[in-house]
Amino acid sequence: MRHSLRLGIAGLGTVGGGVMKLLAREGDQLKARCGRAIEVSAVSARDQNKPRAFELGQAQWVNSPLDLAARDDVDVVVELIGGEDGIALELVQRALEAGKDVVTANKALLAHHGPALAALAEAKNCTIGYEAAVAGGIPIIKCLREGLVANRIERLYGILNGTCNYILTDMEETGREFAEVLSEAKALGYAEADPSFDVGGTDTAHKLAILAALAFGAHVPFGDLFVEGIERIRPADMEFAWDLGYRIKLLGLASREGSGVAARVHPALVPLTAPIAEVGGVMNGITVESDPVGTTVLEGPGAGEGPTASAVVADIADIARGNRQNFYVKGAKDLENAGLVPFSSLIYRYYLRLNVIDKPGVIASITAIMANAEISIESLIQPARAPDEAVPIVIQTHETTESAMASVMQQIDALDAVIEKPCLIRIEAV
């Protein structure tokens, strides 16, 4: 049997602690399955004296995580610090420069620096394992990089943030407002103290940038992604969507569009009959459309100690077995530089909710604006209310471009009778 695979783990928070516990509990089984033992040689974290629910065993404490990259008793650096820059980036760079393999759960780091780190890893004949960076316990990276390697990916979309999915599910089921459900999500540990990355769509965008680059073999500049969160969704939107045959989900979507790639994050109305509509609570779900296999659907827990630690250890086990992969399906130098298709050129059907003063001529003004932009209305709903009282108007459009709809929204928002910023949600054919 080969010598043991020696790990240096940086970060002992929820995920790092989960990895330590999983390695200790399943050490014998992993040794049998990988053909060699896996041991933790050294660890580093912010506070050495913090009480922890696991033992460090024989692992040596290192004050600076950067020192892990230079240790002779570390074969693989496991980066679980987080953050797109700073010490996490420097640690990964130093580890690769030293010829050490890297395993990370850091989605922000890879969304911003993936191509550069991939090129460095290839130059140093190292591998980067990052299954835990996207969708927790769902093996979507392995699916794209290995299981679907003979397929041409045409489209992928999914629910990639459990916090947002929990909030939207609860709003639909209970009728409570966004702020109330978000507060509860914080109390339950589903949302961070500062939840803006989650509810604003940034976390989903980080994951989508990684998936899109992997699936389509193209650079996906994170800064070019269209990103919209769920802050403006109201319980009324949930009710109207259901009546129209839809459910509202925050989606990350990427697709081939001609010779380019389109990628974006936003809330969407999805048909109640679609598998993605059934993914509730804190779960994640991803659909991949490819040729020749067709449609592949994956669902599972997207975050938390157990699922994320499982994904980290799966990458470690691959390295222990000698299963080495490029970061992308193709080499980093072969990634296409076509750029993202402009979001303004994409075509959608739309759901539009307006709160207006109920007086003669309001609907005529709204429909005239849309007619002038050559946007056709599929349906219009106006619940009955007392005269001069604010009422919602819900409009479904036929297909039009994002740019045309953006222009119409500006004009409608400027109407005196519109008393609240309109809520616009795209309708996805999924």
- Which residues carry out catalysis? 207
Contact between 100 and 125 under an 8 Å Cβ cutoff? The reply is no
Count of CB atoms situated within 10 Å of the CB of 50: 9
Q: Which amino acid is at 423?
A: C
SS3 79: strand
Count of CB atoms situated within 10 Å of the CB of 10: 27
CA dihedral 21, 23, 26, 29 (to 10 degrees): 180
Unique residue bearing structure tokens 């056709």: 376
Whole-number Cα distances in Å, 306 to 310, 312, 415 = 6, 10, 51
Residue 366: which of 401, 319, 302, 416 has the closest Cα? 416
Beta bridge partners of 268: 249, 426
Contact between 167 and 203 under an 8 Å Cβ cutoff? The reply is no
Helix-, strand-, coil-residue percentages of the chain, each rounded to 5? 40, 25, 35
Residue 129: which of 108, 116, 113, 145 has the closest Cα? 145
Count of CB atoms situated within 10 Å of the CB of 97: 14
Beta bridge partners of 425: 351
Q: How many residues does the chain have?
A: 430
Beta bridge partners of 263: 254
* Whole-number Å distance between alpha carbons of 190 and 94: 33
Residue 262: which of 209, 304, 206 has the closest Cα? 209
SS3 210: helix
